[in-house]
Structure 1
Amino acid sequence: MIRPFAALLALAALFSAPVLAAPAADAAATPSWSIAIHGGAGTLQRKNMTAEEEKAYRAALAAALDAGAKVLAEGGEALDAVEAAIVLLEDDPRFNAGRGAVFTWEGTNELDASIMDGRTRAAGAVAGVTTVRNPIRLARSVMDDGRHVFLSGAGAERFASQRGLEPAGPEWFATERRRRQLETMKAERVGALDVEFKFGTVGAVARDQAGHLAAGTSTGGMTGKRWGRIGDAPVIGAGTWADDRSCAVSATGWGEFFIRAGVAQAICDRVRLAGEGVQQAADTVIGEVAAMGGDGGVIVVSAEGETVYSFNTAGMYRGRADSTGTREVAIFAGD
């Protein structure tokens, strides 16, 4: 029996209160650079994860965090740090982005990604890509080219070929675990959340030593998606936003609700126009998503380099680091 939509809304309501991030270890210190990453949010609980699985996820998050932090510590740009972190997450089959992406109803992997530069609000995004190893690199290439912001499907792949980006065949993206999830969904006639229990998206936000911000997001979407469905991850303003005047945001969650709320830009607009702190702004907007019946979370970095999380689910794969010595990775709400 197909789970009624109302039941999904009830599931979201169980975790309707945003989870606030703990303050940095040295709140008085202003970081010269900072970075935060995420690997998806959802019903992540210790009882559903073995010690070995938890250790592996934490190691993967730490590796991506360190890759981005290294760029920033060496004086690199926020855009490069965001890209470096996301590439590692896309290449890791544990996460629903790039390799390890979920399957569509037809049994293919369709990938979406976006990236944004807080200096100029230049942005690049791609959707429905099937042959590019790292969609975030393609989104970056679209932004750097500058003629367009959003490319999709075969056109995006032709552009990738012209730009010399590394291709990959279906065998690179496909994993047995994701295939089983699709088979379970079809056999038991259940929804995407019933087979995965989380929203699989990866992302990063960063502030570099020059004070510039950037954000990026990448995803394989939702298990069993149909008809070319596109969520919030590649939508500039919904899943990704960066503006040096306020903050940078990468989101993960029930994409339809995040698009309707314009989550990423809404958070930064509250910071810039209403003078709210990034934690308050993030919690307020995630609360609005919950009120509509959706759930998920965000990572945010402010113009001053403060990094925060906000999510209304039982957990979110996440991490952050900065020049003051903050370095942490976490999974569960209580971490």
Structure 2
Amino acid sequence: MASFFQQQLNLEELEYTNIARVCGHHRNGYLLHTIQGTLTLHANPALPEMTLGDWLLLDQQQHFVRLLERKSLFKRKAAGTKVTEQLIAANVDTLFIVCSLNQDFNLSRIERYLALAHEAAVTPVVVLTKADLCAAAAEKCQAVQALDPFLAVASVNALDQDNCAALLSWCGTGQTLSLLGSSGVGKSTLVNSLLGHDIQKTAAIREDDSKGRHTTTARTMHFLPSGAVLIDTPGMRELQLAECETGVRRTFADIEQLAQQCRFSDCQHQSEPGCAIQQAISSGALEPRRLSNYQKLLAEQARNSASLQQLHAQDRQFGRMVKTLSAASRKLKKGY
């Protein structure tokens, strides 16, 4: 357990509580990993919402005491039209953004995952797979690197354990890693190679569109031989950003810097005179696609954030109403 979490414990907790980590989440509760082994913490309305990677304290009877402050948290707006927030993984040190180099390759999707990593202050590593199915693998690798000269980019053959050894520098003892990516990009194969044996089910890609089949159906935690912890997640067909403005602006730092050079402080980067961003596009220094995705992600996270904040406000109002009614009910009972 890292010092970040140990420093949150007082002397009494160090002596009388047990430390546990969430390694599974099911309908009936949470699966916890402890020094003594694994156990189930049954679902209870009084429990805070938790996710894989969370650290918590249990008393001597293995009852929940409290959730420790998180070092990092991945979350998204729930898929579809529901205005709810979904937790993905907590206390991650490095995010492996897995993307295949075949027809599923998408720079805008990679930028979306980068925004998520930067918002959580987690180190992103773009892992490119299936180079054997792509005739332009080198060009696509260069395109990813062009997103950020300091971005870590690794091209691997997920089926080859020796080839995947390039990722081991991020898999040191005590490190927590997470895999995110679309369905069928080779995450399960990569997990098997990092573990050194097959534990995740895999499937071949479809021949008609080069897309992989969805095999991972639940978030899982694995313990690597190197001493690292690996959290695998099901492929995400939809990753809606919310409360992620800092992450988006960090991902598009080049555009943010250009915007400061525009003639007008409220420049919309369309057809305004003296727009440094449009000048960069005209000169070929900036892709129109990148500006479009920057504006799209900023607008999306603002819209989703506003919806979630409204929901949180409604929840708080409902909670206050329940407390008021409960207090009034107790007074009535005492009066009789």
TM-score bin (small chain)? under 0.3
TM-score (norm 2): 0.27
Higher relative contact order (CA 8 A, sep 6+): 1
TM-score (norm 1): 0.27
Higher CA-based Rg: 2
